[in-house]
Amino acid sequence: WETLQGYSETRQSRGMVAYPTTVEECRNVIEFAKKNSLTICPRAGGFSYGDMILNEDQIVINLSRMDRVVEWDSVTGLVMVEPGVCFSEIFRMALVHSWTLSSCPGGMGVTIGGAISNNVHGKDSWKEGNFGDQVTQMKLLTASGEIVEICRDRDQNLFEAVVGGIGLLGIIVEATIQLKKVPSPFVEVTSVVTRNIEESLEQIEIYNKDWDFSVAWSDAFVKGRGLGRGFVTAARWVDEKIPLAPKRLAESLKVPTLIFGILPAKPTWTICRPFFNPIGIRMANFANFTLANIKEVFSNSKNSRLLFTDYNFMHNKIPDLKQVYRPFGFLEFQPLIPKKCGGEAVREVFEIAHRFECQSLLCGVKAHREDDYMLSYSGDSYSIGIDIQVRGRDMERVGKFAKTLFKFIEDCGGKTFLAKDEMLSRNLFQKMYPKYGEFLEVKRQLDPDELFASDMYRRLMQAENNSSQNFAKVS
């Protein structure tokens, strides 16, 4: 028995946790669950934010120890891995040969199983699609104990259900991924200062014509015409053959213990915690924006070269940042607003946050493209990252903010990212994800007794007559 949390650390859930290392041990967990009328929730790196990876009074199967690279071909770029393999391990093998994973979020500890189950996205998703687009085959251990081999070309309907299927159809025990060949392991990085959110969106579209990656940092606290001001950063692969020493790559993939190589993380963040609030962040944003303007005026060259892993996993260079949100954690919202709604709809997201005093402490804006996965967070859209600390918050006001925000997203024909959600209503989920019925039909075929479940599943999808079912608690 363990007490678990999602990445945002806002809620706790106690349950039995299994740590299998083989497929056979996974089967043993399935048999145990069936025998004792329990459900199973897959989990690995623990980077899903809310209740998706929690399973109150039930079983959580932690797949982080199934972390074997089964096969790697440095000529073709095909890699076959178990679900607990982290992004960092893929890059350790592949980047020295100029192969890369596409659609990577900012954490190199994210596992392949979690990336597939959430169909994650990155700064290049507008171009490369979400993570599932590079997966070619999977092996899924189902509730019956059988392994189903799923091929993209042969099993399209099942493939589109498992990718983004948030662990509800079975256990992904193996995945084959086609990496992307790049000219070098390095990227050229540039940035431009923007005066408001509309200008940021314009710059994103300009960069997306010729560059490979783009993201905007936006100041959510400024009011009026300057709302969402900040800067857009873009990157593209350096078109030169530049050798990369394994030692240099290993250093890039190492998670530091000191902030800026000097300050110990935990005590530093504890000291900073009282200042990590709307007032403190408003001042920090002003300083950050001012510094960006100064750099743009006086810099001789706007572009710099970075090893890709230094560019994409910049958050990993700041150890234990979550300490500043403790002891209550933080809430994350990530609306996806269709481009056809225009910049005024994106601005309205910021305005809603202002009205309820729920401005995002850290705010990133990215572009996305459409795909066909049943529960996929995708669309010809912009996403806006909104994170607010729980400490010192009026949670009733936060609840009203969430309700207003979700309704606006739904009115726009958008959606919110399930991996970061813990407040969406069942009704709005069904409107945002209209293919959920197709997904549940696949689940009925693969998992008729609902062996695979989670707190999120019970909140958003499980039939009302089943959601309150009391399961036996096994000590």
**Model confidence at 468, in pLDDT bands (50, 70, 90)?**
very low
Within a 10 A sphere around the Cβ of 212, how many other Cβ atoms? 20
Within a 10 A sphere around the Cβ of 125, how many other Cβ atoms? 26
Please say whether the beta carbons of 255 and 316 come within 8 A. yes
**Mean pLDDT for the stretch of residues 97-118:** 96
DSSP secondary structure string, 412-423?
A: HT-EE-GGG-S-
Of the listed ranges 119-133, 297-311, 442-456, the one predicted with least confidence? 297-311
Q: Give the pLDDT confidence of 353-378 residue by residue, as tens digits.
A: 999 999 999 999 999 999 999 999 99
278-308 burial: b if 16+ Cβ within 10 Å, else e: beebeebbeeebeebeeeeeeeeeeeeebbb
In this predicted structure, what is the pLDDT of residue 464? 56
Q: Is the pLDDT score of 166 beyond 80?
A: yes
Percent of the chain scoring above 90 in pLDDT: 85
Of the listed ranges 179-183, 242-246, 406-410, 470-474, the one predicted with least confidence? 470-474
Percent of the chain scoring above 70 in pLDDT: 97
What are φ and ψ of residue 366, in 5° steps? -135, 160
**Mean pLDDT for the stretch of residues 33-48:** 97
Tell me what the pLDDT averaged over the chain comes to. Answer: 94
Please say whether the beta carbons of 49 and 332 come within 8 A. yes
Of the listed ranges 139-143, 240-244, 271-275, the one predicted with least confidence? 271-275
Q: Is the pLDDT score of 73 beyond 60?
A: yes
Q: Is the pLDDT score of 467 beyond 60?
A: no
Query: Could you tell me which of 201, 185, 199, 175 has the C-alpha nearest to residue 80?
Result: 175
Of the listed ranges 201-205, 381-385, 470-474, the one predicted with least confidence? 470-474
Residue found under tokens 């009733």:
396
**Model confidence at 302, in pLDDT bands (50, 70, 90)?**
low
**CA 190 to CA 192: how far, in whole Å?**
7
Q: What is the pTM of this model?
A: 0.94
**Model confidence at 471, in pLDDT bands (50, 70, 90)?**
very low
Which residues neighbour 474 within 8 Å (Cβ) at sequence distance 6 or greater? 16, 36, 38
Of the listed ranges 18-27, 204-213, 322-331, 395-404, the one predicted with least confidence? 322-331
**Mean pLDDT for the stretch of residues 256-265:** 81
Please say whether the beta carbons of 94 and 179 come within 8 A. yes
Of the listed ranges 60-74, 250-264, 324-338, the one predicted with least confidence? 250-264
**Mean pLDDT for the stretch of residues 130-148:** 98
**Model confidence at 4, in pLDDT bands (50, 70, 90)?**
very high
Cα–chain-centroid distance for residue 362?
A: 15
Q: Give the pLDDT confidence of 403-454 residue by residue, as tens digits.
A: 999 999 999 999 999 999 999 999 999 999 999 999 999 999 999 999 999 9
